[in-house]
């Protein structure tokens, strides 16, 4: 039986103008990212790693070709359909942690569940389950500014998977962390595919992050090649 594919790119082109220059991110790119793997995308600054993640998340559209997520061709969907796809099937983790400062840890985790109309009792149970798994149950009622940077990023990762997506897109998730904290966050990221049945695609410069990957891709000059 062939391996399940979460994300597939077929003949994808993407370029944009920047500072009077024409920059090619992808050129006739074909790639398949299997389910339940940790995939790392590397590339120099400005190579287009964030643009690639935006394409995979339906936040941007290719100039040509097709991108599918969990069987749905993203660039054939209208804006509302892409929003629903992101809400239900995709989680995001960023370098700059976007927890809402006026909400508690539990309330931040509850947001994607509320958007997906998860019943209140089920939502409470799932929040407690995830906080226990991420060793953060005692911080349930704290606000983000009461947490360390590593704790904030662990909550951000939990929020990205609590609604049970097929895909998590992570953009430099350890970029603002010191080495010791990075190792703690990596331990959480590494277990996501198996523990939560999710494909993780992570753009990073970090060799420590690449070291835990099932596959590493290099993005350079419009090409996306496995290394």
The tens digit of pLDDT for each residue in 105-132 reads: 999 999 999 999 999 999 999 999 999 9
For the stretch 206-224, pLDDT in tens is 888 999 999 999 999 889 9
Low-confidence stretches of the chain (pLDDT beneath 70)? 1-3
Residue 157, pLDDT score: 95
CA–CA separation, 9 and 6 (whole Å):
10
CA–CA separation, 63 and 14 (whole Å):
5
User: Per the domain annotation, does 63 fall within a domain?
Assistant: yes
User: Per the domain annotation, does 26 fall within a domain?
Assistant: yes
Q: What is the DSSP letter of 223?
A: E
CA–CA separation, 215 and 33 (whole Å):
9
CA–CA separation, 35 and 24 (whole Å):
28
Are 161 and 198 in contact by the 8 Å Cβ rule? The answer is yes
Residue 2, pLDDT score: 43
Q: What is the DSSP letter of 54?
A: H
The domain tally of the chain equals 1
CA–CA separation, 25 and 29 (whole Å):
10
Residue 3, pLDDT score: 61
User: Per the domain annotation, does 76 fall within a domain?
Assistant: yes
Residue 124, pLDDT score: 97
User: Per the domain annotation, does 195 fall within a domain?
Assistant: yes
Q: Strand 5-18 vs strand 21-34: parallel, antiparallel, or unpaired? A: antiparallel
Helical spans, DSSP H, in 73-168: 79-89, 105-115, 120-133, 149-161
The domain spanning residue 47 has which CATH number?
A: 3.40.50.300
Residue that has been written with the tokens 């749905």 in this structure: 72
| 3-class DSSP assignment, residue 92 | strand
User: Per the domain annotation, does 216 fall within a domain?
Assistant: yes
Residue 226, pLDDT score: 94
pTM of the model: 0.93
Q: How many CA atoms lie within 13 A of 7 on its CB side?
A: 30
User: Per the domain annotation, does 14 fall within a domain?
Assistant: yes
User: Per the domain annotation, does 197 fall within a domain?
Assistant: yes
| 3-class DSSP assignment, residue 109 | helix
Query: Encoding tokens for residue 161?
Result: 């998977």
User: Per the domain annotation, does 116 fall within a domain?
Assistant: no
Range of the domain at 67: 5-99+168-226
């Amino acid at each position: 039986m062939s391996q399940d594919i979460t994300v597939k790119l077929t003949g994808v082109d993407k370029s944009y103008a920047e500072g009077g220059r024409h920059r090619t991110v992808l050129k006739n790119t074909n790639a398949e990212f299997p389910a339940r793997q940790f995939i790392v995308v590397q590339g120099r600054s400005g190579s287009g790693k964030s643009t690639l993640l935006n394409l995979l998340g339906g936040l941007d559209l290719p100039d040509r070709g097709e991108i599918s997520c969990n069987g749905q061709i993203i660039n054939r969907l209208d804006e509302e359909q892409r929003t629903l796809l992101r809400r239900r099937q995709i989680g995001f983790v960023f370098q700059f942690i976007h927890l809402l400062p006026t909400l508690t840890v539990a309330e931040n985790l509850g947001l994607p569940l509320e958007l997906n109309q998860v019943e209140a009792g089920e939502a409470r149970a799932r929040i407690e389950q995830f906080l226990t798994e991420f060793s953060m149950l005692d911080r349930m009622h704290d606000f983000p500014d009461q947490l360390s940077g590593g704790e904030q990023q662990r909550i951000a990762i939990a929020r990205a998977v609590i609604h049970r997506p097929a895909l998590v897109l992570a953009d430099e998730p350890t970029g603002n962390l010191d080495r010791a904290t990075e190792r703690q966050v990596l331990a959480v990221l590494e277990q996501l595919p198996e523990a939560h049945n999710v494909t993780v695609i992570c753009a990073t410069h970090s060799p420590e992050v690449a070291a835990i990957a099932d596959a590493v891709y290099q993005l350079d000059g419009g090409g996306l090649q496995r290394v």
